[in-house]
Amino acid sequence: MTVEEFENLPDSPYRQELIKGELLTMPPPNFLHGVIVANLAILLGHHIKANGLGHVCAETGYRLESDPDTVLGPDVSFVSKERADQADDSYYEGPPDLAIEVLSPSDRKGYIERKLAIYLETGTRSIWLVNPRRRTVEVISSSGERRTLHEDDELVDDTIPGFRVKVSEIFA
């Protein structure tokens, strides 16, 4: 499937992504997933807006590869003001600076690792993999370094200058 065919799919109650021309359909997120996504968008949004750093987005499509096409929609993402020159009604061309994926019970490890690899290969600077069951955040940098933060830890990531939050606040 091409990105043009993907864009013209009829509305669906399910979340959909396109990976290397293959349509993937996922069930709607559960309530806890939605709470965590909203918490992250609020926490990041306040900091990013107050400091003029760029844009926070929720469930926004990023066209990461062409021929075959890949469009991923992280749960929450950040694009720095230096790269945020696209403001139209199509998918953002290129990767977000930060992609945040909140794990759902239906997510499979192989599928998640495939998405993480695509984000990193296409230029995403940092990924936060949020695990509601374990109440952890795994921070994966573009260098491939991975560190797992627990509720008592503070989340700091150079991708968003000056941002700091206790991991427990993400799950509050």
Q: What is the pLDDT of residues 9-23, one digit of tens each?
A: 998 888 899 999 999
Q: How confident is the model at residue 136 (pLDDT cuts 50, 70, 90)?
A: very high
Closest CA to 84 of 66, 96, 101, 75: 96
Given a cut of 80, is residue 86 above it in pLDDT?
Answer: no
CB 64 within 8 A of CB 127: no
The residues with which 72 forms a beta bridge, in sequence order, are: 62
> What are the extents of the domains in the chain?
3-170
Structure tokens at 145: 């370094």
CB 134 within 8 A of CB 144: no
**Percent of all residues in the chain with a pLDDT value above 70, rounded to a whole number:** 98
Domain 3-170 annotated CATH 3.40.50.2300: no
If you compute the radius of gyration of the chain from its CA atoms, what whole number of angstroms results? Answer: 15
CB 152 within 8 A of CB 168: yes
The torsion angles phi and psi of 43, rounded to 5 degrees, stand at: -60, -50
Cis omega (within 30 of 0) on the bond before 68? yes
